[in-house]
Structure 1
Amino acid sequence: MSDHNPKEPNINSLSLDLTQLIFSSLPLPSLLRASAVCKLWNSLISSPSFTSPCLSYPWFFLFGLHNTSSRNNQSFAFDPLSNAWFLLPRLDDPSSSSAFLGSNGFFFTTTPNFSYTPVLKSAWRFTSPLKFSRLNPLLGVFYDGSSGGFGFKFIVVGGVRFIGGLVDIEDRLAVEIYDPNRDSWELCPALPADFRSGNSSQSLSSALFKGKFYVSGIYSCFVSSFDLRNRVWSEVQTLRPPGVIFSFLIPCNDMLVLAGMCNAPRGPSFNLWKIDETTLEFSEISIMPQSLLHSLVESEEDENFASLKCVGMGNLIYVFNEEYHQKYPSCLCEISAENGKCSWRRVPRLPLPVNKFHKVISFCSTVSLTHSFPQQ
């Protein structure tokens, strides 16, 4: 006999289509909890026909690396829909080194061996050796339908050569593309010579956009793109809007965005520009509100802005401070798909306690329902 009062609403009395429609409005953490309630809800949510806007929203991942004790490493993930941070299980670096990177759903190590794991699953997979062992390269994850099987490939660009414990910062290093289905590396042309000085992820930013892997100098403002189909680099050009001190390339849905710190006549500002990928002409689309910018730093002196970093994908751009003094504060900008207008807001503080890190790795990624996920 049921305890349910027939005068009260009962979600189980709704049609399956309406139930799925209700589920589609939930943020991902709530969806995963709902899928564990009963077999019916689980089947509705895991159905191939189920769609939800939350699955297209990029999450912000922040990994803090402690050089001397992996016990102090911490991983965080921010869900923009539920406006909440999640502390992820501690993810040990199998290389026991600082050669640790992240890109679009995966963590990577590059020395002494290249390995990768999905961000929410500690299941490291080692690959065959890179042709050139390297530290701090740029990394991209792109879909290649022609390869079948896994479907994704990894592109490794630049970095500094690592030989016998020594680093050679003058070697540009060839581009290498990894095919997980064949466990093989393809050697491609190296970064253009203009990037010889400062060719690691510490001085370069990258963006996968419309079949090309764009590389830009954070401070030099040089930019070039690598055609993933034809395996060739474009001519190197300079992309420096007036007053830019440093900048980052961001792939945002149907447009390429440059996000950068400016020294303008009205004072320091953090600006966004839409980039025409064919001509590299730029047009300003937004400026971060001054109150948000000041909340990311301790003072307005130029050197304090140098610790600001920027990542993004889809319609979201995250700006954060990689210094410990304010517990790594961040904010985000959402670009409307309908009218292109930008909406800025502050991201909640990281869940305490927050350790002090020697290196902070950040990137954006969508999250699948199939990922195992921690509780809040």
Structure 2
Amino acid sequence: MAQQGSTSEPEAKPSIHGDVLESILSHVPLIHLLSASRVSTSWNRAVSSSLAHLNPVKPWLILHAHSSRSPYLTATHAYDPRSHLWLDIRRPNQSSLKLASSALRSSHSSLFYVLSPTVFAFSFDPLHLTWHHTEAPRVWRVDPIVARVGRCIVVAGGACDFEDDPLAVEVYDPATRTWTMGPSMPEILKDSTASTWLSVAVDEQRMHVTEKSSGITYSFDPNAEIWDGPYDLRPNQNVYSCVIGTLHNRLIVAGLVGNMENLNSVKLWEVRGEMGKEFWWMEMGEMPKEMVKKLKGESECVASIAMNAMGDFVYIHNPSEPAEMIVGEIVNGTCKWRDVPNVVMKDKTRMQRMVVGCSDVSLGDLQKAVSENRNFAVKIRAGN
């Protein structure tokens, strides 16, 4: 025992490690785990274990607020459902990205593209750090269907000139940097070839195209160059509009029940079986009434909705009233809902467009983004 008045050695502070450290890290936003993973080898392992077992990474909602007037500025934001945070993504001293005069667009959640009479540019990496540029398709289009199927990019419909085939299909191969003409879209879609009237989803081999109002669906295999269908993906006659997506390569349908002047409910189904043989619908969930009201906003009628789907998440919004994002998470085959105020559009004017997608963002993606001079700033916590 030390004598009274003598100086004793200071007690060593206990280190945080093991399950305790992993539990703490499970509450840390993903963007901040990047620096935590660099503390030491043991911390890096703890970050990985925490993400694997306690609070996994969840698909981010990626949102671009795009000015429709020169100089066509686009500010990029993201919502991280794992941490319930809105983030600003920007370059140092530059809050927005200048794009060509053609509008930025998105398709089937993960693909972003810009189409002009001379150039076609597209990006599909999680944070859209890399853009691929090539010459425009032969057929000039105003509002085509665009999808990435495997390694190919399919551009279909949307032709703006009466001299062109409105059902024309072209396929771009990034490996050879060449365009080839594919079989035209089915004749039944002639009056609705624009993406405004169609919903698109992809799996590993096919592009699925659904006419929103009727549910009529065709599937296109760019390798076999074959269109299959038609299939009726409208789950029942009470659904007046539907959109499609894929979760883990499974086709899902979000349907509006009622009519445009009176939207009663929004339901989500998974398509089971195999289209072309025998398939059926399994209901995954119905959006709570209070969220349907928020989805409608001040709209007198809701003709359709937009849905982005990835992993176990769906993000649904009303394109004409994007103040609320409705988030659905699939847990054990059923959908759990929550609404997330769209803080990005809160102070935006009508002169700005919103382009929406979602991405599986990993720590590696964040590391690459930081190395390429992207900054991530927490905008606001959106609540649980």
Normalising to structure 2: TM-score of the pair? 0.77
Mapped to 1, the partners of 2:126 and 2:198 lie a distance apart of 23
Cα 1:251/1:102, change in 2 over 3 Å: closer
State the secondary structure of the residue aligned to 1:88: strand
Structure 1 residues 42-191: aligned runs within 5 Å:
44=45, 52=52, 57-70=58-71, 73-89=74-90, 92=97, 94-98=99-103, 100-102=105-107, 104-112=109-117, 113-117=119-123, 118=125, 120-143=127-150, 153-162=151-160, 171-179=166-174, 181-191=175-185
Question: Is 1:66–1:356's contact at 8 Å kept on the other side of the alignment?
Answer: no
- Determine which of 250, 258, 261 is the counterpart of 1:263: 258
Mapped to 2, the partners of 1:321 and 1:250 lie a distance apart of 16
Structure 1 residues 183-202: aligned runs within 5 Å:
183-202=177-196
Mapped to 2, the partners of 1:5 and 1:207 lie a distance apart of 61
Moved more, 59-68 or 284-293: 59-68
State the secondary structure of the residue aligned to 1:311: strand
The structure with the greater share of residues assigned to strand is 2
Match of 1:367 in 2: 361
Match of 1:147 in 2: none
Mapped to 1, the partners of 2:207 and 2:98 lie a distance apart of 26
Match of 2:6 in 1: none
Q: Which runs of 5+ in 1 are unaligned?
A: 144-152
Mapped to 2, the partners of 1:233 and 1:194 lie a distance apart of 12
Question: Is 2:107–2:200's contact at 8 Å kept on the other side of the alignment?
Answer: no
Question: Is 2:314–2:328's contact at 8 Å kept on the other side of the alignment?
Answer: yes
Q: Which amino acid aligns with 1:34?
A: A
Cα 1:172/1:228, change in 2 over 3 Å: closer
Question: Is 1:84–1:348's contact at 8 Å kept on the other side of the alignment?
Answer: no
Structure 1 residues 308-323: aligned runs within 5 Å:
308-323=305-320
Cα drift, residue 223 of structure 1: 0.2
Q: Which amino acid aligns with 1:269?
A: S
Mapped to 1, the partners of 2:252 and 2:216 lie a distance apart of 15
Superposition RMSD in Å: 3.5
Aligned length in residues: 348
Match of 1:148 in 2: none
Cα drift, residue 91 of structure 1: 5.0
Cα drift, residue 360 of structure 1: 2.7
Cα 1:229/1:125, change in 2 over 3 Å: closer
Q: Which runs of 5+ in 2 are unaligned?
A: 1-8, 379-384
State the secondary structure of the residue aligned to 1:347: strand
State the secondary structure of the residue aligned to 1:134: coil
Mapped to 1, the partners of 2:355 and 2:121 lie a distance apart of 16
Cα drift, residue 24 of structure 1: 6.8
Q: Within the alignment, does 1:283 sit opposite 2:307 as a pair?
A: no
